[in-house]
């Protein structure tokens, strides 16, 4: 951003010098030759010099960072400066036309062009062309409205100088009114340039987004996976930046982390499309038509921060019946636990319909952090042997390994790994693990918790 600001200010300073030098040269040549067209160009150049000075200060102000008074920055100062330049162009165009028609009507005004006149015009055309190209490029790269206005001025100077040259040549070859006609051409070109500049400047001041920009942003946002729909897109230019707000809808079943990831991806897509932009993205959760009963029940429980599992949804004669296991702090009284369960059932009915049958099974949730120590290795080996032997009878679990047994104040907590065929369903594996737990705990009643981690059986190499 610092390099951009420095480039813009340097371009504005160079424009001031070029405008001032050309204006003085055209004024001297115009006075010596009596050419109205050349004097019009000199006045145009003088106004350009003043406008360019205004541009320089506008660019410096626009480069200031955002603050409490101007939360979107100071970029619109450039548009205000460009609007002032538009007014100056309009006044100049009207004055030139009035004087040109007076000369045509009264057949007054003697024009005597000389080598100085032609030399000034030719040099002016060359300088205007170089400055127009340079300013146009910098304005495009930095998005500066004020520099774009300056580029437009130099392009009008370029065309105006060409018209003046043509008019003077016509005068030299006997067409005495050629200079006045050329002056009218200069005025018309100034008027057209001022109109174009004014229209774009007013669009900036009234927050009109560039044509087609919203459609491009919508396409980029819609392409991000997880975006259900786009509620609205608001964009507005300010100096060389685009500010905006985008409101999207996402499935309400998504986690907060996933929603944040979607917003971050949208931000990256917009920056790729509009590098110099600052867009705020808001995501609203939305209930989608394809949500299942299971997803809706889990979402209700998650919103109330209640852990549930074994959610079963049945369709009994066209009526939905839902049962679930609800985990509640085991130290809580049964009365309070029942109240929480009843509130959850009420929320599910409110979401899914009053005729929904809901049953909850309350299970104790272990909230304590147990202190454990490794038991004697011989005890661990005994438990490992029992696990391996019992696994053989089930025919689903094999390769019991990584057995760990810790003694806690609440009893033994045992963890182990085992392997199963990868094509087995989760239901089959869970049932086999439960069966293995029941069979093993029968021989070790002091085991409080037995946790089995099933891994896919590795293929034979």
> What local confidence, expressed as pLDDT, does residue 160 receive?
67
The domain tally of the chain equals 4
Of 205, 231, 252, the one marking the end of a domain is 205
Report pLDDT digits (tens) over 150-196: 676 667 667 767 766 777 677 666 666 666 676 677 777 777 777 77
Confidence of residue 122 (pLDDT cuts 50, 70, 90): confident
In a domain, 158, yes or no: yes
Tell whether 146 and 167 lie within a shared domain: yes
Beta bridge partners of 415: 404, 451
CA distance 13 to 347: 68
251 vs 244: CA distance, rounded Å: 23
What CATH number is attached to the domain comprising 152?
Answer: 1.20.1510.10
220 within domain boundaries: yes
Q: Which residues pair with 454 in a beta bridge?
A: 418
Number of residues in the chain: 461
User: What is the structure's pLDDT at 293?
Assistant: 85
Query: Are residues 262 and 299 located together in one domain of the fold?
Result: no
Among 305, 332, 365, the domain boundary falls at: 365
**Do residues 41 and 167 make contact, with C-beta atoms less than 8 angstroms apart?**
no
Residue 228 domain flag: yes
The percent of residues in the chain predicted with pLDDT above 70, rounded, is 67
Encode pLDDT of 137-150 as tens digits.
776 666 665 566 66
Query: Model confidence at 215, in pLDDT bands (50, 70, 90)?
Result: confident
pLDDT of residue 58: 60
Beta bridge partners, 81, equal: none
Burial readout 221-244 (b: 16 or more C-beta within 10 A, e: otherwise): beebebbbebeebebbbbbbbbbb
Per-residue confidence at 361, pLDDT binned at 50, 70, 90?
A: very high
- Last residue in a domain, options 176, 205, 234: 205
Q: Please give the residue that has the higher pLDDT: either 329 or 109.
A: 329
- Tell me whether residue 328 is exposed, middle or buried, using C-beta atoms within 10 angstroms of its C-beta: 0 to 12, 13 to 18, 19 or more: buried
- Which is more confidently placed, 254 or 408? 408
The CATH number that applies at residue 230 is 3.30.70.1350
* Average pLDDT of the segment spanning 113-118: 65
For residues 229 and 90, state if they share a domain. no
Tokens of 116: 């100085």
Of 256-260, 367-371, 393-397, 437-441, the range with the lowest mean pLDDT is: 367-371
Q: With contact defined as beta carbons under 8 Å apart, do 310 and 347 qualify?
A: no
Indicate the average pLDDT of the chain. 78
β 277-286/319-329 pair status: unpaired
Q: Are residues 190 and 260 in the same domain?
A: no
Q: How far apart are CA 178 and CA 167, in angstroms?
A: 5
Pair 189, 273 in one domain: no
| 426 & 358 share domain | no
Q: Are residues 57 and 197 in the same domain?
A: yes
User: Residue by residue, what is the 3-state secondary structure of the chain?
Assistant: CHHHHHHHHHHHHHHHHHHHHHHHHHHHHHHHHCCHHHHHHHHHHHHHHHHHHHHHHHHHHHCCCCCCCCCCCCCHHHHHHHHHHHHHHHHHHHHHHHHHHHHHHHCCCCCCCCHHHHHHHHHHHHHHHHHHHHHHHHHHHHCCHHHHHHHHHHHHHHHHHHHHHHHHHHHHCCCCCHHHHHHHHHHHHHHHHHHHHHHHHHHHHCCCCCCCHHHHHHHHHHCCCCCCEEEEEEEEEECCEEEEEEEEEEECCCCHHHHHHHHHHHHHHHHHHCCCEEEEEEEEEECCCCCCHHHHHHHHHHHCCCCEEEEEEEEECCEEEEEEEEEEECCCCHHHHHHHHHHHHHHHHHHHCCCCEEEEEEEEECCCCCCEEECCHHHHHHHHHHHHHHHHHHCCCEEEEEEEEEEECCEEEEEEEEEECCCCCHHHHHHHHHHHHHHHHCCCCCEEEEEEEEEECCCCC
N-to-C CA span, the chain: 58
* Most confident residue range from 78-87, 112-121, 137-146, 326-335: 326-335
Domain that holds residue 428: 372-456
Name which of 131, 37, 48, 144 is nearest 91 in CA terms: 48
Would 356 be classed as within a structural domain? yes
Is pLDDT of 2 > 50? no
pLDDT digits (tens, 9 = 90+) for 89-110: 777 677 667 766 766 666 555 5
Pair 261, 299 in one domain: no
| pLDDT over threshold 70, residue 451 | yes
Per-residue pLDDT tens digits for 275-316 = 777 888 999 888 777 778 888 888 889 888 899 988 999 988
pLDDT over 90 at 404, yes or no: yes
- Among 1-15, 31-45, 189-203, 348-362, which range has the highest average pLDDT? 348-362
* Residues 220 and 236 reside in one and the same domain: yes
Residues 358 and 306 occupy one common structural domain: yes
Are residues 194 and 220 part of one domain? no
Pairing of the two strands 319-329 and 308-316: antiparallel
Nearest to 262 by CA among 279, 276, 277, 282: 282
Q: State the pTM of this model.
A: 0.47
Flag whether 461 is in a domain. Answer: no
Residue 89 in contact with residue 95, Cβ under 8 Å? no
**How would residue 1 be classed by pLDDT, with cut points 50, 70 and 90?**
very low
78 shares a domain with 163:
yes
Q: Is 252 contained in some domain?
A: yes
């Amino acid at each position: 951003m610092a390099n951009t600001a420095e480039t813009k200010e340097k371009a504005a300073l160079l424009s001031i010098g070029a405008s001032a030098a050309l204006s003085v040269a055209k004024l001297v040549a115009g006075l010596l030759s009596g050419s109205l067209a050349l004097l019009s160009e000199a006045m145009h150049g003088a106004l350009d010099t003043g406008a360019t000075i205004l541009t320089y200060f506008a660019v410096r102000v626009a480069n200031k960072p955002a603050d409490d008074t101007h939360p979107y920055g100071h970029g619109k100062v450039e548009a205000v400066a460009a609007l002032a330049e538009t007014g100056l162009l309009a006044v100049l165009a009207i004055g030139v036309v009035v004087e040109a028609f007076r000369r045509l009507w009264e057949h007054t005004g003697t024009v005597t062009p000389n080598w100085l006149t032609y030399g000034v015009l030719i040099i002016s055309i060359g300088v205007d062309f170089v400055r127009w190209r340079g300013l146009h490029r910098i304005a495009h790269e930095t998005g500066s409205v004020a520099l774009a206005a300056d580029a437009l001025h130099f392009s009008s100077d370029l065309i105006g100088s060409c018209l003046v040259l043509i008019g003077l040549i016509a005068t030299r070859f006997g067409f005495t009114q050629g200079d006045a006609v050329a002056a009218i051409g200069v005025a018309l070109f100034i008027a057209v340039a001022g109109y174009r500049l004014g229209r774009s400047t007013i669009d900036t001041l009234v927050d009109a987004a560039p044509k087609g920009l919203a459609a491009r942003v919508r396409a980029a946002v819609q392409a991000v996976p997880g975006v259900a729909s786009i509620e609205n897109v608001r964009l507005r230019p300010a100096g060389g930046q685009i500010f905006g707000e985008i409101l999207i809808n996402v499935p309400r079943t998504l986690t907060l982390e996933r929603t944040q990831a979607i917003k971050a991806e949208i931000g990256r897509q917009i920056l790729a499309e509009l590098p110099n932009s600052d867009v705020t993205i808001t995501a609203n959760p939305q209930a989608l038509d394809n949500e299942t009963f299971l997803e809706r029940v889990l979402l209700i429980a998650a919103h109330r921060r209640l852990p549930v599992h074994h959610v079963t949804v049945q369709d009994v004669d066209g009526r939905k019946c839902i049962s679930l296991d609800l985990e509640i702090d085991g130290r809580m009284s049964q009365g309070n636990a029942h109240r929480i369960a009843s509130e959850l059932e009420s929320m599910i009915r409110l979401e899914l319909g009053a005729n929904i049958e809901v049953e909850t099974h309350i299970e104790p949730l272990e909230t304590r952090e147990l202190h454990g120590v490794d038991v004697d290795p011989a005890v661990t080996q005994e438990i490992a042997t029992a696990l391996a032997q019992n696994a053989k009878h089930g025919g689903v679990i094999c390769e019991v390994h990584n057995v760990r047994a810790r003694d806690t104040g609440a009893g033994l907590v045992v963890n182990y790994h085992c392997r199963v065929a990868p094509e087995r369903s989760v239901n089959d594996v869970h049932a086999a693990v439960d069966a293995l737990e029941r069979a093993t705990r029968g021989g070790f009643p002091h085991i409080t918790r037995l946790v089995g981690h099933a891994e896919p059986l590795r293929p034979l190499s």
